[in-house]
Amino acid sequence: MWILIAICAASFQTSRNVLARGIVREVSPALNTWARFAFNLPLSALVLLLISLWQGSLRTPAGFYAWCFGTAAAQLLGNVALVSAFRRSSFAESIVLHKLEVVFAALIGVFFFAEVPSPKGWVGVLICGVGVLLVNLGRDQGLSGWRRAFHFDLGALQAMSSGILLVLTSFFLKEATAVLVEANPQVGEGRFQATVNTLFHTVWMQVALATTYLVAVTPGQLARIRRHWRRMALIGAVGFSGSICWFWAYSLALVAYVKAVGQVELLYSVLISVFFFREQDVLRKLPGMALVVAGILMVIWK
């Protein structure tokens, strides 16, 4: 089940990225990020209310809120680091290093969270990582893309930091869900109710942190909400669908496996760039796309 959920999550994330791209020139990165969470919050609250009325409320230990706060802070900092990398390096160079999160997830899981992939799972994760590199480096011809991608400067460090922070986000939210499941044995193996609780409490914390930042640093940006609220609401709705799928998938399987299967998002993005944005470099990306597919299949059939 987690495989289908991860594929759905990647689909929603691709759609959200396309929608967010539509207003990227009209609002600041901070406001764009705020909209993703603020318009997610009402939907998260509604689903939590409905499932609580149906199945009853869950006990929420203090440790649960600590993990939720860690999730919220790590995800916000990861987004900030990636936007900062975009400003110092090219989009392609930043994405190459950021998307190594599939490998970061496996390493962090082994050393800090006792998540050890099977031998075939390791091979699949590494193949996905190489495929991600090739797809993104396929944006450039020749060796120039490789030289630029592996030229380590502040932008490269920020891109890698973003990948690591977003991997930590995945592990933190998984720990939050695990604390809920331990405190509420009635949740069962499906873990959906625990996932909904984790999502809601993480999102309201993110909205509080992001709103505080906007009010303190860029208060003028808030006036733009009135003009763009319809598109922001759509971004929030699609983002909510993706978030609940990611959170649910992480609670059911190893983070590295979910990250690997989630690289199907990369294939969606390439297809969208060809058919909607008319980018013409798809042939250079085909070897990497083939490796990503091969890695995903190895993880699925581990």
pLDDT at 64 over 80: yes
Q: What is the Cβ-side half-sphere exposure of residue 208, based on CA atoms within 13 angstroms? A: 10
**Domain locations in the chain?**
2-300
* pLDDT at res. 92: 55
Mean pLDDT of 43-48: 96
pLDDT at 144 over 60: no
pLDDT at 40 over 80: yes
What's 27's DSSP letter? S
What's 26's DSSP letter? T
The vertex-155 CA angle with 218 and 86, nearest 5°, equals 55
> Bigger pLDDT: 18 or 260?
260
The answer to whether the CB of 82 falls within 8 A of the CB of 123 is no
Rounded Cα gap, residues 225 and 59, in angstroms: 36
- Taken in order 245, 238, 218, 208, the sign of the CA dihedral is negative
User: 6-15, 25-34, 284-293: which has the highest mean pLDDT?
Assistant: 6-15
What's 56's DSSP letter? -
Mean pLDDT of 150-165: 76
* pLDDT at res. 275: 67
* pLDDT at res. 86: 63
pLDDT at 178 over 90: yes
Mean pLDDT of 57-67: 95
Give the DSSP per-residue string, 165-185: HHHHHHHHHHHHHHHHHHH-G
* pLDDT at res. 300: 77
pLDDT single digits (tens) 231-247: 889 988 998 999 999 99
Looking at the chain, the whole-number percentage of residues with pLDDT higher than 70 is: 83
pLDDT single digits (tens) 81-129: 877 776 665 555 566 666 778 888 999 999 999 899 888 889 988 988 8
pLDDT single digits (tens) 194-211: 999 999 999 999 999 999
